[in-house]
Structure 1
Amino acid sequence: MSTEDSLVEIPRSDWTKLRDLYVHRDTDPQGFLCINNFIKWVEIEPELKVSFLSLNGDWQSDGTFVITLGWNTYKKHLFFNTLSDKLDRVTKALECLKSFEDEYIFYGFGSRFMPVVDHIGSKYCTTKALFFVENVWYTASKELVDSFTIQVPPGITLRNVNLEDAETINEIWPHRAPGSIEFVRSLIKYNMNLGAYDDNGKLVAWCLRLPIGSLGLLQVLESHKRLGLGSLMVKSMAKKISGSGDQVLAPVVTKNTASRCMFEKLGFRAIDNTYWAH
């Protein structure tokens, strides 16, 4: 990295212009849907700790950007992308952040950026190696989603998740961490979501939408498994997302063969791998 390289804030007035550069990259984990997500979040919460950054002030030439999302009690989330086939500018942009060891989670990046993250990890994470979680990146066409039929079992009601149920969701989430309740609450407050509630008003299954625009945090309580609620959540959330005009996407942990089988049985198609690293 030369001493001249620096990250420059992209003004909020230009965020939609950056987003529109990615209008044809709606299956990128950190493309159109991701940028649009934070535009919407800031409309709801103007004081949100989100920064859109560019290398030396130039994002127009090749769409290279870095987005950081800060939390009060949780590690910062890091999003980045470039329209260029070359990865040198996005690498330089990330190098400008420098502090990676305990500060950032690389959030859901596509497989083509693995060399970039490997480089950052080897250069800046000197006391701890980066830990990677690999996911299969699935998509569902609009035609497939339109064909889904929704049959809700007796005694179950589908509706938006109550904010007070965030603790239940976080407690069961396999990837929870200190402070992650703050992240879960934000997904409930700012993004479309879906919960299955029993006759007593208890949340028994749910599916949220991640900042990268995909389905996420899909879970069914042990007491209500084998009732088809997992598939019901996926199909119902897919219809909500597709109905809004967005591409339907889902990351599924590669080792989670049961979940992958469910998505593939529904007709979802694998198009890439995505990774979380911290």
Structure 2
Amino acid sequence: MATGLTTITDLAELRALQELHLADWPKHCVAYFWLDNYLRWLEKDPLTKYLTFYTLNGDWRRDGLFILVHRYQLFFSNLSRRKTPELLSALTLLDWSNGYKVSAIHETHHRIYKQLLAEHRLVMDREMKTIMYRLPCEQAKALQLSCPPGYHLDDVRLEHAGLINGLWSARHPGSLKLIEMLIEKNVNVGLYEEATGQLCAWCLRLQSGFLGALEVLETHQRRGLGLVVAAAIAKRIANGLEHDVTALVNLNNKAACKVFDKLEFTLLGGEHYVWSMCLAKTGGVLNWPANT
């Protein structure tokens, strides 16, 4: 039988695919949140650009296998994880010529990804291993939140995208546009100084559902502001979306670990994820226009 990538365009099918990833919750929550995020984006804007959902031979029902490509970003998953010859076949059929930023690769899928890079002589620019924290929805709703005197909480504004991108440890070619889309389309929280109106701390929700770009200006650090914005966005996600709250943290980011420990997030043992930048075959850089 011929093997080929097929696209999933029917929204009802995509929602059914998403529901498959509720099995053994929260085991497949990352894939669930990817699909949930982009289905929400499609509801707001049915003409969302550069967004494609793939599966292999149209058979997503058997193992929940899908590949999601948005701009230069690549997400992939299946339910069986270790039994993944079909996933390798599907990834091999993708066009890798322009490179990808591959996000939240589960450690059991990472071997497949590394095998693909080796077989196709693809070059990896950088890679980061992370640990996963989770706070169940009801616990997030119950978080106690107190904004310190002299500050107020509000949405992050689009005008702050450059500042956020400039301080983001995971910034990369094309990430300014990504930050703009996250500000416009996803839950976020900013902490502003009353006297000046300056944005001092912030946190965004990434497409994978994870809390991301959690940052406090250097001039305002050591005041507990990171804890405030993390608690605030966790409550917004839980109350607004009825979702658990998750975060991926770099193994060396002790400050972020302390924040999630204080908020009583649970560190999920053995749940390691990797994000990776695969360079383009031509030119050696991620080949994507930064503003599209």
TM over 0.5: yes
CA contact (8 A) 2:138 2:238 kept: no
1:162 deviates by 0.6
Cα offsets for 1:237-274 (capped at 9, x unmatched): 11111112101100011111222122123211121111
Contact kept in structure 1, 2:22 and 2:29, CA below 8 Å: no
1:198 Cα deviation (Å)? 1.1
CA distance in 2, matches of 1:15, 1:267: 33
Offset at residue 204 of structure 1 (A)? 0.7
Give the aligned partner of residue 39 of structure 1. 39
Structure 2 length normalisation: TM-score? 0.87
Q: Do the aligned residues in 1 keep the contact of 2:137 with 2:242 (CA within 8 Å)?
A: no
Measured after TM superposition, the shift of residue 45 of structure 1 is 2.2
Indicate how the Cα distance of structure 1 residues 267 and 219 shifts in structure 2: closer, same or farther if over 3 A, else same.
Answer: same
Counterparts of 1:92 and 1:15 in 2: how far apart (Å)?
Answer: 21
Give the alignment partner of residue 10 of structure 1, picking from 8, 11, 34. Answer: 8
Q: Judging changes above 3 Å, is the alpha-carbon distance between structure 1 residues 125 and 233 closer, same or farther for their aligned structure 2 residues? A: farther
**Distance of 2:34 and 2:47 partners within structure 1:** 18
1:31-180 aligned within 5 A: 31-48=31-48, 49-70=50-71, 76-85=72-81, 86-99=83-96, 102-126=98-122, 128-129=123-124, 131-180=126-175
Identical aligned residues as a percent? 31
Asked if the contact 1:160–1:195 (Cα under 8 Å) also holds between the matched residues in 2, the reply is yes
Deviations 1:177-231 (A, max 9, x none): 2221100001001101100111222111000000001111100001111111101
8 A contact 1:29–1:274 mirrored in 2: no
- Per-residue CA deviations over 1:141-172 (Å, capped at 9, x if unaligned) read 23532442111011111011111111110111
1:30 correspondence with 2:34: no
Shift, 1:47, TM fit: 2.1
Once the two structures are superposed, residues 16-56 of structure 1 have per-residue CA deviations (whole angstroms, 9 ceiling, x without a partner) of 11111112344535321110110011122222221010101
Matched, 1:246 2:243: yes
CA deviations 1:104-158 (Å, max 9, x no partner) are 11111221111111111212244x2453111111101235324421110111110
* Of 184-193 and 90-99, the range deviating more from structure 2: 90-99
Call closer, same or farther: CA 1:129–1:161 in 2, change over 3 Å: closer
**207 and 118 in structure 1: CA distance in 2 versus 1, 3 angstrom threshold:** same
Tell me what 1:21 maps to: 20
Moved over 4 A (4+): none
- Provide TM-score, normalisation by structure 1: 0.91
Residue number in structure 1 paired with 2:228: 232
Q: Secondary structure at the match of 2:46?
A: coil
1:109 and 1:84 map into 2 onto residues whose CA distance is 14
* Candidates 213, 217, 236, aligned match of 1:217: 213
Q: Aligned equivalents of 2:57 and 2:105: distance in 1?
A: 22
Question: Which residue does 2:267 correspond to in 1?
Answer: 270
User: Counterpart amino acid of 1:230?
Assistant: G
Q: Residue 201 of structure 1 aligns with which residue?
A: 197
Query: Does the 8 Å contact 2:154/2:189 carry over to 1?
Result: yes
Given that 1:158 and 1:197 are in contact with CA atoms closer than 8 Å, whether structure 2 keeps it comes out as: yes
